[in-house]
């Protein structure tokens, strides 16, 4: 920086010297002469002219410094504005869902599923407990299953439990849109009553009661039961009456996987053997095949007749 300052001062001195020489030569020109006298070979500079040089040099130095400071300030301001623009243009990233919220969501879903499964198991256990329970009172020794109902058969006639008295009856609850379980159980039921008739000459009345009254109309039930056995009686009715009948027989049913009019019905898979007084004798679950069902019904009828003898 010192060397630059010395060079700058030297340059200003040379410039001042040339100005001084030109000024001195112009002073020597006479009014009536067109010739400009040559400057002396060794002119003596007027030292008074140099009194203003420090001020001139100082002014130029200060101007250069001010110019440098102005440029620096401008660059600094531009850099600051650039950083500020960069900060303003940077998108604000929203906070993600916390792990705690995610875990709470999973726990809530798992809790709902667990609650549904427990309720379903509880209903099934209630059915099994009711089947093995004994009703106290005049009907001692009889399970509290069965009762009055008022439904409509597949021919459109009003039917109650009294219409089945005097006959052995095998009742199954299901629905006509059932994809596999109901058809399998009804085929098993039809095969068993045919075997019983062949072995003992007994006519068992097969009854199908719908748990889907919204879709199982009389016509729908009529077409459905005829696919399994000509003696199979199909019953449907008002939703409240279906609910009463299901409650009387301790039958669990619930809509599942509902998508508009297309849905399934989860329900108990049980056949109920009723005696000629329409009182409960025994239930048979899904684990019984045709032979087991046939033998089980025949054994119950034999014991019933022996008790009545």
Whether residue 273 contacts residue 172, with contact meaning beta carbons closer than 8 Å, is answered with no
Q: Which long-range contacts (CB under 8 A, 24 or more apart) does 39-47 make?
A: 45/17, 45/20, 46/20
* Whole-number Å distance between alpha carbons of 173 and 249: 9
DSSP 266-279: EE--EEEEE-TTS-
Pair of tokens at residue 115: 């609650």
Whether residue 169 contacts residue 204, with contact meaning beta carbons closer than 8 Å, is answered with yes
Q: Which of 233, 238, 269, 264 is nearest to 251 (CA)?
A: 269
- How deeply is 59 buried, as exposed, middle or buried, from its count of CB atoms within 10 A (0-12, 13-18, 19+)? exposed
Which residues belong to the annotated binding site? 178, 182, 267
Q: Which of 239, 249, 171 is nearest to 205 (CA)?
A: 171
Pair of tokens at residue 258: 């509902």
Which residues belong to the annotated binding site for Cu cation? 178, 182, 267
Q: Count CB neighbours of 50 within 10 A.
A: 14
* Whole-number Å distance between alpha carbons of 149 and 224: 21
* Whole-number Å distance between alpha carbons of 185 and 187: 5
- Provide the strand spans (E) within 45-181: 150-153, 158-160, 168-174
């Amino acid at each position: 920086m010192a060397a630059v300052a010395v060079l700058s001062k030297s340059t200003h001195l040379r410039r001042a010297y040339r100005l001084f020489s030109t000024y001195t030569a112009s002073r020597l020109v006479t009014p009536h002469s067109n010739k400009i006298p040559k400057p002396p070979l060794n002119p003596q500079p007027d030292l008074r002219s140099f009194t203003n040089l420090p001020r001139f040099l100082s002014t130029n130095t200060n101007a250069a410094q001010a110019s440098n400071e102005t440029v620096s300030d401008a660059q600094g301001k531009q850099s600051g504005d650039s950083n500020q623009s960069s900060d303003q243009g940077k998108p604000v990233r929203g906070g993600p869902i916390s792990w705690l919220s995610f875990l709470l969501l999973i726990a809530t879903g798992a809790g709902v599923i667990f609650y549904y499964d427990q309720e379903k198991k509880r209903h099934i256990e209630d059915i099994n407990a009711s089947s093995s329970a004994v009703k106290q009172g005049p009907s001692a020794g009889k399970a509290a299953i069965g009762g009055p109902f008022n439904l409509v058969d597949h021919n459109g006639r009003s039917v109650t439990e009294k219409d089945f008295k005097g006959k052995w009856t095998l009742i199954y609850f299901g629905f006509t849109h059932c994809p596999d379980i109901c058809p399998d159980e009804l085929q098993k039921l039809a095969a068993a009553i045919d075997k019983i008739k062949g072995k003992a000459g007994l006519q068992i009345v097969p009854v199908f009661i719908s748990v889907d009254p919204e879709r199982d109309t009389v016509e729908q039930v009529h077409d459905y039961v005829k696919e399994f056995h000509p003696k199979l009686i199909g019953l449907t009715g008002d939703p409240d009456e279906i609910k009463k009948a299901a409650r009387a027989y301790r039958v669990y049913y619930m809509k599942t996987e509902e998508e508009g009019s297309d849905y399934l019905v989860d329900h108990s898979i049980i056949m109920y053997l009723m005696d000629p007084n329409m009182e409960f004798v025994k239930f048979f679950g899904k684990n019984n095949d045709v032979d087991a069902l046939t033998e089980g019904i025949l054994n119950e009828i034999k014991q019933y007749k022996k008790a009545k003898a």
